[in-house]
Amino acid sequence: MAQERLLALQKYGQSVWIDFISRDALASGELARMVEAGVLGLTSNPSIFEKAISTGVTYDVDITDLARRGKSVPQIYEALALADIRAAAALLRPVYDRTDALDGYVSLEVSPHLAHDTAGTIAEARRLWAALDRPNILIKVPGTPEGIPAIAELIRSGINVNVTLLFALDAYEAAANAYLDGLTARAEAGGEVRNVASVASFFVSRVDTAVDKRLAGRPAGRSLRGRAAVANARLAYARFQEIFAGPCWEALAARGARVQRPLWASTSTKDPAYPDTLYVDELIGPHTVNTMPPQTLAAFSDHGRLGETITQGVVEAEALMGQLAALGIDMDDVTDELLRAGVKAFSDAFDQLLAGLTAKVSKAHKK
């Protein structure tokens, strides 16, 4: 893998994480080679684990062993997932130490079925955090209305959080403020804030997919196709710059607090008509993370464009949103729909994973 472009991104203040995990990749050294090439962190989600565990035979020995020990299907899933997350955290621990806890993180998501359950999210996040017992773990919590108070409470408790499924600017702002609220409460109670980390995962490509669908059949909107996602992300970054500035933030920063970095998620291009590095090239800038699936990572390593781009065209991004509104496209409606679809997609993947495990457990009991 070409290293130059990945390493160059760090000079612009952006960290590359990989949106992928599998036991095969851990065992074969594939993930280790990615880290050597400049990958600084890893994210997972129910869809990724569903693909990793339900296909192939890599996990079958452990599944059989756990089933024969009387473990339930959910317990088997959690044992497999926690083992992979611990292994990835060990692999990335040198990065965590070398970057003084800026990078080197591995993310694990709470059950997507808790997306609208504040208390349940808090309880599961605390349980997973304690079970993993690693400083370079981020617990993923969806940025739903019910997830926002959970984020503040977890940060107050000193638990690292990756806020996921952010599509709307207001939801991003709520997630950032929840992080600040949690840090403030922790500081007021005399807690250490320097060792608490968070990223805000702002989803990108799905915005273009949804907006382009609504633009279809509208000649006046042809020139707007493939532009909403980058514009939306640039406006989110502008809000990041506003939120993490001023007296409130400076007081926390003086105590060692770190900014909650925007993390660009869903950065693979869904429309083949668009450049395959579109959602990397256009979102480069300080204090950001781009978590890429392997194919996007390979594409950017091969032919991505370098340069600080996230702060470019903010005025044009605002104007684009106005043009979309003039065509009757309500971005609040778009992002609400995307959030509902995202929660459902992760819930469905989680259910499919458990169904696949159930079938494998049944076979194990018959042997």
Active site residues: 140
CA distances from residue 93 to 13, 27, 127, 217, 292 in whole angstroms, order as listed: 20, 17, 21, 50, 20
Segment holding 165, helix H or strand E: strand 161-166
Rounded CA-CA distance 33/1 in Å is 8
Structure tokens at 99: 């970057």
Q: Under a CB-based contact definition with an 8 Å cutoff, are residues 209 and 336 in contact?
A: no
Q: Under a CB-based contact definition with an 8 Å cutoff, are residues 109 and 337 in contact?
A: no
Q: How many CB atoms lie within 10 A of CB 103?
A: 21
315-326 burial by CB neighbour count: b if 16+ within 10 A, else e? eebeebbebbee
Alpha-carbon dihedral 230, 236, 238, 243, rounded to 10 degrees: -170
49-86 burial by CB neighbour count: b if 16+ within 10 A, else e? bbbbbbeeebbeeebbebbeeebebeebbbbbbeebbb
Strand, helix or coil for residue 70: coil
The tokens 């458990």 sit on which residue? 354
What region, left, alpha or beta, does residue 226 occupy, with left being phi > 0 and alpha being psi -120 to 50 degrees?
left
Rounded CA-CA distance 291/348 in Å is 22
Rounded CA-CA distance 184/193 in Å is 9
